[in-house]
Amino acid sequence: MTISSSSSSTPFWGHPTSTLDWCEENYTLLPYVAEFWNTLSNLAIIVPCLVGLYNCAIAGLERRFVLSFLGLLGVGIGSWLFHMTLLWHYQLVDELSMIYASCIFLYCIVDSRYTTGLHGLGLVTGLVLYAVLVTYMYLHNKNAVFHETAYGIQVAGIMFLSYLKSRTAPPRIRILFPVAITMYLSAFALWNVDNHLCGHLQLLRAYLGVFAPVIELHAWWHIGVGIGSYLYVVFSIATRMRELNQRVALTTFAGLPIIAPNKTPHSKTSNGKDI
């Protein structure tokens, strides 16, 4: 939704400078948070990233996956700041972090034989050039549709390549992909409903009273994207480990699946399940 400012009073963070506003009414619950539920829901992105970074630390996972979780963490923090303030520079932190994190995801999901040596250098160069080009163009055109298109191209590539990898993965790894994609696409559907039926949703929330947050659909977008993206990175880690002929053991931490690798070739193991 394009922003329109008509209030004569000055909000805590000043009048919005972002090119987008969302369906949640501004500054209704706290005077220093523009969109309370859209801000708070970013915990569904931030907390799984912290779990992922913990997993990387205890399991000695590759740096590419540390960068994956850090990139996604940047999205969560950027989105928190954007929805809390509705300021343009924080909107950039949010939206450009989505581009950069997706570049890391693409690097990780490309077949491992292309992510080393000269092939790896070419892949990194291409992704960096894409990120720089999108950044430059978006800073100049400030067009939300341009950003959404650039991001959508990346997501489509990630989904296609991941689908190809999922076809040969064992069931306990393969299931992570459809669950992650289902959560992401469901969240995307809610994002669209929130954009296109905002007026109806606001009227309905007026009648729901204390239950109104249930239909803050942009907040549900954050929840679906946060958990879905986390599951996707776990899937990416598992497929990479299999390509390196490492056994993968799945367990849970804080209700989320994590990977505990056993860096031996495929053989019987007394630690974790055979997948």
Q: State yes or no: 83 annotated in a binding site.
A: yes
Nearest CA to 200 out of 215, 179, 178 is that of 215
Q: State yes or no: 21 annotated in a binding site.
A: yes
Q: Are 272 and 250 in contact (CB under 8 A)?
A: yes
First to last CA, the chain: 45
**Dist. CA 254–CA 267, nearest whole Å:** 29
54-57-61 Cα angle (round to 5): 110
Q: State yes or no: 26 annotated in a binding site.
A: yes
158-163's contacts with Cβ under 8 Å and 24+ in sequence apart are 158/102, 158/105, 158/106, 158/109, 158/232, 161/106, 161/109, 161/110, 162/109, 162/232, 162/235, 162/236
Q: Are 104 and 52 in contact (CB under 8 A)?
A: no
Q: State yes or no: 25 annotated in a binding site.
A: no
**Residue 238's beta-bridge partner residues?**
none
Q: State yes or no: 15 annotated in a binding site.
A: no
Q: State yes or no: 195 annotated in a binding site.
A: no
Structure tokens at 219: 């907040």
Q: State yes or no: 119 annotated in a binding site.
A: no
Nearest CA to 259 out of 43, 62, 44 is that of 62
Q: Pick out the residues of the known binding site for Ca(2+).
A: 21-22, 24, 26, 35
Residues annotated as binding site? Answer: 21-22, 24, 26, 35, 83, 218, 222
Which residues are annotated as part of the binding site for Zn(2+)? Answer: 83, 218, 222
